[in-house]
């Protein structure tokens, strides 16, 4: 029985978010294709996602030298370990994010920071870094108010590029994306844009069942 980890980073309700509606559509299609698939939802705006702060940095230094942690440090490290273990237990991962000010929401950044742990998901080598995680499929569903796939703003797109880079950094290169862009710029075409994204997701469903 395979498990899909469904990670969303949007404070809106499903009916107010094109991204969440696309994510809901995709997971429902996956479940329809294979009723044995387990879909585990992680809502980053509702979960406890530790940010890398003074406690986390201090804890990592203490762990490296076998020192005792404070209560606050231990709790944050415990939660980071839980997040990483949950990620590692999944066969495939679906991320759903909007593009905010050229990149992902802060909670998504914090979540990805929890996945980048030297010795667990990557290791340093003399000539660089090697990712340690393999065998997982990644799909990123991203919504954008404007158009960033081409034109003068293409180089400003640091949302999907960032997610893809982090996944590759830890070893996961089986990566696909579906982007619905122009949600604010082309409101008169919103239904067509939504249907186009759904059609692209239909193709991806076959990869996840």
Q: What average pLDDT is seen over the chain?
A: 97
What confidence tier does 9 reach under pLDDT thresholds 50, 70, 90?
A: very high
Nearest to 108 by CA among 174, 158, 177, 65: 158
Nearest to 156 by CA among 181, 132, 189, 124: 181
Query: Any idea where the domains of the chain sit in the sequence?
Result: 3-205
CATH number for the 3-205 domain, one of 3.40.50.360, 3.40.50.1970, 3.60.21.10, 3.50.50.60? 3.40.50.360
The predicted model gives 77-102 an average pLDDT of 98
The predicted model gives 165-188 an average pLDDT of 98
Q: What is the pLDDT of residue 207?
A: 79
- Over pLDDT 90: what percentage of the chain? 98
Q: Three-class SS of residue 88?
A: helix
Residue 96, CA distances (Å) to 44, 162, 178 in order: 10, 13, 10
Do 145 and 99 form a contact (C-beta atoms < 8 A)? yes
Do 63 and 28 form a contact (C-beta atoms < 8 A)? no
Show the tokens assigned to 78: 């415990």
Do 44 and 107 form a contact (C-beta atoms < 8 A)? yes
Per the rule left: phi > 0, alpha: psi between -120 and 50, beta: everything else, 60 is alpha
pTM: predicted TM-score of the whole model, two decimal places: 0.96
For residue 206, pLDDT over 90 is answered with no
Handedness of CA 24, 29, 30, 36 (dihedral sign): positive
């Amino acid at each position: 029985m395979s498990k899909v980890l469904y990670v969303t980073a949007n404070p809106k309700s499903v009916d107010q978010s094109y991204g969440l509606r696309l994510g809901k559509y995709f997971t429902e299609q996956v479940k329809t294709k294979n009723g044995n698939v387990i879909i585990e939802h992680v809502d980053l705006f509702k979960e406890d996602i530790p940010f890398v702060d003074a406690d986390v940095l201090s804890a990592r230094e203490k762990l490296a030298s076998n020192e005792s942690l404070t209560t606050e440090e231990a709790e944050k490290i415990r939660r980071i370990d839980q997040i990483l273990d949950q990620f590692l237990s999944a066969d495939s991962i679906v991320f759903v994010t909007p593009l905010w000010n050229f990149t992902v929401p802060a909670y998504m950044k914090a979540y990805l920071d929890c996945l980048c742990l030297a010795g667990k998901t990557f290791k340093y080598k003399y000539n660089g870094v090697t990712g340690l995680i393999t065998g997982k499929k990644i799909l990123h569903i991203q919504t954008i108010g404007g158009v960033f796939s081409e034109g003068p703003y293409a180089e400003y797109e640091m949302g999907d590029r960032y997610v893809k880079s982090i996944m590759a950094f830890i070893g996961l290169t089986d990566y696909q994306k579906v982007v619905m862009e122009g949600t604010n710029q082309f409101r008169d075409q919103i239904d067509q844009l939504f249907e186009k994204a759904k059609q692209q997701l239909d193709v991806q469903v076959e990869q996840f069942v």
